[in-house]
Amino acid sequence: MTATTKTKPTEATSTKTEKAAPVAPQPKTLTEAASLGVVKLVRKRKNGTLRSLPYLAPGTPQRKDAEAVVARRVKGETINAIAEDLNTSIATVRRMETNLKLAQEIEAGEHRDKWTVGEKQVIISVVEGKLP
């Protein structure tokens, strides 16, 4: 019998250089930044904590639902009736209205002075408390 020697297989090394992932362009407006999700919209509460606010981008299901709710409100339907019909809470219906209003304000440029390019968070409003 002949003795065989086992050798470790050599590991192949790649001669290819890895390319860096393409850098996404920075959004130039608050609307673009909010649509891409690169900026967080917040409301500062009286006690200093922050409340995150959603941005309803055009064409999203959430935006379409909110627009439908607002259209029903314009026709004169009550919040209670809409909430019951949608099988949701009154608070949710109210939030849909206010979130759509915020999105429309952002798209109209009403909050553009609160944001600078590259910023990751924008304080949309500050809740002021009553003085004792």
Q: Could you tell me the CA-to-CA distances from 2 to 5, 7, 8, 76 in Å, in that order?
A: 10, 16, 19, 96
Greater confidence (12 vs 112) lies with: 112
CB contact at 8 A, 88 and 6: no
pLDDT 10s digits, 26-43: 888 889 999 988 999 999
Q: State the average pLDDT over residues 56-65.
A: 94
Tokens of 95: 């939030």
The residues, any chain, with a CB within 8 Å of residue 53's CB and separated by 6 or more, are 41, 42, 43, 99, 102, 124
Q: Exposed, middle or buried, 61 (CB in 10 Å: 0-12/13-18/19+)?
A: exposed
Q: What is the pTM of this model?
A: 0.75
- DSSP type of residue 88: S
Per-residue pLDDT at 102 exceeds 80: yes
